[in-house]
Amino acid sequence: MAFSLYAATIPSYQQILGAVSGLLITAEAFCSEKGLAHEEIIQARLAEDMQPFAYQVKSTVVHSL
């Protein structure tokens, strides 16, 4: 039985993008609840040497195309 590149990659990408979508919804709700500007989350870094959250999301999308 042949195993296609599609079958090897697309389901994983769909799962990852769904998870990122959930993170964005959670981040938006957090900002609303705490009265924070969205920009604070967009520019947030988990560690000083990490790229900001916006870059992480963009990178996830780009690598899923």
Q: Which domain holds residue 36?
A: 5-63
pLDDT band for 3, please (50, 70, 90 cuts).
confident
Residues contacting 24, CB < 8 A, separation 6+: 57
Write the DSSP assignment of 13-49 as a string of letters.
Answer: HHHHHHHHHHHHHHHHHHHHHHT--HHHHHT--SSTT
Q: Residue 4's pLDDT is what?
A: 93
% of the chain with per-residue pLDDT over 90: 75
Q: Which residue has the higher pLDDT, 60 or 65?
A: 60
Per the confidence metrics, is the pTM higher than 0.75? Answer: no
3-state secondary structure string across 50-62: CCCHHHHHHHHHH
The tokens describing 22, both together, are 């959930």
Asked if residues 20 and 63 have their Cβ atoms less than 8 Å apart, the reply is no
- How many domains is the chain partitioned into structurally? 1
